[in-house]
Structure 1
């Protein structure tokens, strides 16, 4: 029987062949090589885009104007592309595909010289099988060669606490409002690039993915971090200049499932490795409305003096997010906390999920209910992590912190 290293070397050969084939089919103007994913767009255009007979539906679908027509041909601007995947859905000819980052991971796993940590998004529950718990997923990742698995939901806990405290500091009267920065990179990209007049209402916080990667690297400086989730846009987020220190590779659930299948790993049959690290608040980030619910619960539990009651409004789907933002700009809402998610249903409706979003939402709801703790304030694991990172005072969450903060421009 082949060793894990030999199995990965076999997969690498196939991926290299696929990469070379794809490179031959793609346009050198808009991307570099598949095997150097830090250098090209989140979405890749094949050469036969010149044969498009679909009236450029991809260009019309892009709210970021990332697709341009030059000399009669369409090109994707990596600087503008948010990686949301709307153009892929719009292209009926199959000329657009997502950037895959599986090869760099396989190389590291085959070398077996670094600690490699899987950072798994809370939307994972139910994706790899009805009975695949957090404990079985951890064991499956270890069977695949990872050193360990980290629940990103635990870092959603930390960011929930930070957002609740930011709300207390920033919202004092009617007319004040806050837009969540906690979760969706496409929502943030819309605000930064299209509705930038609202950027002052977004707390300068990183996403749970970035927080998880930074904390892992703070505790294990030589670690290789791999985020695993349903979202293509996370690939682009991980490469943004001010936060590119956190995540080495982003895989979708589809890519991770391909690895499991190639190695003959069935997560359903793995043993339980139970270590409960997240509260309900962090787990429900994966569904639309989850961030609002989590922050509201935590703010109420903080019970700080002179805190304004959170009146939340949320939208899911790019069209609905745009409509919500327009209502904010027009003063047509009396809410003071706004949550937006680009995918219908939230992360459970992401472009690379393995099950229907309705089922995913139900799995996440039940996963949240099964948590031993309701909020990060009740979660002893979060207290321990924060103490190890040197956070001892509430003010630490609203003053500058390299691990949890970023500057939006």
Structure 2
């Protein structure tokens, strides 16, 4: 079989992209390194192996953004969702699967498709012809080097340093206030939450005492972690360390006192819509429940709801808002698309979703027609928009799908907002498919 497009990487994104292309009648060569060379994290040579969890998270299509994404992918004929449904195990409202059965079934479906040639090989350079690179967080060093050579060393990261992200509407702006340090910028670049001395000392002690997650064995020797220190490690270095680092209050005027606060927590706008704000410098290995409990002790964040909690782990991902166009093509080499976690989406299902879109964009292009991106009101469109321009390139870090990425619906009452967004997404997807 002579392929028309080369897909590098047989994870969830690569497998989904291959399936979408083949189902559209496009012959595919799918290269997967495992089978000739392993990785520190994978245990088998099956495609779409689930490494850390067997869960695709909530399957609720009415009140959870990832559930909306599941529903959209099912509607578009996703292989990953088909096999996830076929290998589902009891998990309440979550979609959890038998990991071995799921990966084996995806592998079999890909191997049996007459338009997919599955090749076990390591790819060390970017292909010359039409291609989708979907090599994920453990991209081989040789290919990572080739990507860095094409995109620039500073555009390719090798670890996530995830600061928590808060939904703006849950910040108490009667307590917090807008101000940039020394009044630089336009005055609304940062939201500030002040801490008194006693509050700061209690917060610093709680950071040190909080329960943390450990690095996985294959992450522990990654040198790049040295470049971005968890906030609790900074706290351990001395009681004043944070006050002279990310929590310094100098140059800020607390409107309640007219004075510089003893310490401050700053939030910076994280997306173009202004619906998401990240807590500056708060990358952390604290367990998620500890983060929620501790961060809600901060004045102004008592009722905070989080689009993403903090983390720090090994990954390989592009600065996608800077490098990729709206169809996931590399601007400097548009015959190459990227898909999956290497684009900076976070999570199994998000990875597969971007693979689905990359496959469909490529299939349309090879067929000589244009495929408009899905509307931003859909989960697919919201996730794609965040990756390809909705997020700020200067602070880009991986993100799960969440309603904070969707255009807001301020006219809907708060309790009805998520179902209203889900209904709007279904209507928008139907219109896109009809068009």
Q: What's the TM-score bracket when you normalise by the shorter of the two chains?
A: under 0.3
Judging by fraction of residues, say which structure has more strand.
Answer: 2
Judging by fraction of residues, say which structure has more helix.
Answer: 1
TM-score by length of 2: 0.25
